[in-house]
Structure 1
């Protein structure tokens, strides 16, 4: 069972997931975010996905903190594009002694999710905040603004926007816009909006365009992904 709540860290989400079927697989959809993960007493990092990540059904509960797009690289000290479509041990990014100390604190917490959240809050308190321009990039792309227009509005060149996006989000602004559009569409469809209307409101050319993009990013047709026909 998957459960999430808003974190005390601005924009972040704290979640837990306990698989109900042993050995079952799952599908994590692209969302522009990165996560700090706990599983079986270990700390890992989930990089930004460009396509659905298929989990292998590792037994036991998982916990995580999902960071607002663009905020994790500052906290982790690594550009997002280096972790694109990857799941890595935190020891691959930080000195082993520091990770052992942090892991011990998380494992000693009342529950792993709260331990991860405390670790993220502590790290954020000692780290420079992310560039505020990043939130403006996300907001503009999530509103459906063309990439060229976003660069002009923010006063940066297309090359600068692409470079900043790679470091902060893991991929260029066109891919980020595509991922954010997918999330808008899924939110509408899950709320009961018909797919044709969902396509128009989310910024697709038509329902066929929506179907192609959903399949390209998730590996499933919209109806299959949503568990319904039509």
Structure 2
């Protein structure tokens, strides 16, 4: 099942990454765990869909058939929606009741569907209209920074914005980082030491849970390996 994908960063503090992809044929895609919320728009067999997806706390398998195109906006940690409790969307998604080539429905209102190059304009409008808000402390502590408030207050704010604990976010992001390093050919022992795993079995359990792959399978050539959803290098190892 051939898959073409592209992704980029963003200068918006509300956006972690913007991605797009195209798939054809029949096969299975492994959707790896993610600690982010994201907007996803996709067209399959001529039908357009739009959804808001919450964090995924374990890898899962998606069956794919035919041709499809998809586009997503991954929201930065700390970006949330006042009208949606974060916990409601953990391991879940909210699909728009209606979507066509121009608009979709969010918060009971119609919004123009953005594109790969206009994601920032779309998110900016959501911010101005009060659909999105941001707690900068959450992004700061997830990145490994310090907070000027107590630990309990930090945990409450992280959970309110993301639906996850700091520990869960770190475990997920560490496994994603480990998968990228292994794909690049970094030896397992080096990955263990660099990212703070106890030992190789600890790394193996983390990869199986969050990535759905063993270290050996991650090293398979891209042309023969089963496809994975978006993986990208996380800047900095200190927070792990």
**How has the CA–CA distance of structure 1 residues 55 and 70 changed in structure 2, closer, same or farther, with 3 Å as cutoff?**
farther
Structure 1 residue ranges, 4+ long, deviating more than 4 angstroms after superposition: none
SS in 1 for 2:144: helix
State the Cα RMSD in Å.
2.7
* TM-score of the pair, normalised by structure 1: 0.77
Which runs of 5 or more residues in structure 2 are unaligned?
99-104, 222-240
Shift of 1:37: 0.9
Shift of 1:114: 3.8
**How has the CA–CA distance of structure 1 residues 9 and 113 changed in structure 2, closer, same or farther, with 3 Å as cutoff?**
same
Q: What is the CA–CA distance in structure 2 between the aligned matches of 1:91 and 1:9, rounded to whole Å? A: 28
Residue deviations 1:29-86, cap 9 Å, x none? 1231111011232221111010113222164111111111221x13x74232210111
Which residue pairs with 2:57 in the alignment?
50
**How has the CA–CA distance of structure 1 residues 44 and 219 changed in structure 2, closer, same or farther, with 3 Å as cutoff?**
same
Residue deviations 1:128-155, cap 9 Å, x none? 75122112220128xxxxxxxx7xx643
Among 148, 156, 159, the alignment partner of 2:150 is 156
> Equivalent residues in 2 for 1:1-230 (5 A)?
1-10=4-13, 11-20=15-24, 22-40=25-43, 41-57=48-64, 59-71=67-79, 73-74=80-81, 77-91=83-97, 94-96=106-108, 98=109, 101-102=110-111, 105-106=112-113, 112-114=115-117, 116-127=119-130, 129-140=133-144, 154-158=148-152, 160-227=153-220
- Is residue 36–residue 116 contact of structure 1 (8 Å, CA) maintained in 2? no
SS in 2 for 1:201: helix
Hey, which of these two has a bigger chunk of helix by percent? 1
Query: How many residues are matched?
Result: 205
Which runs of 5 or more residues in structure 1 are unaligned?
142-149
Hey, which of these two has a bigger chunk of strand by percent? 2
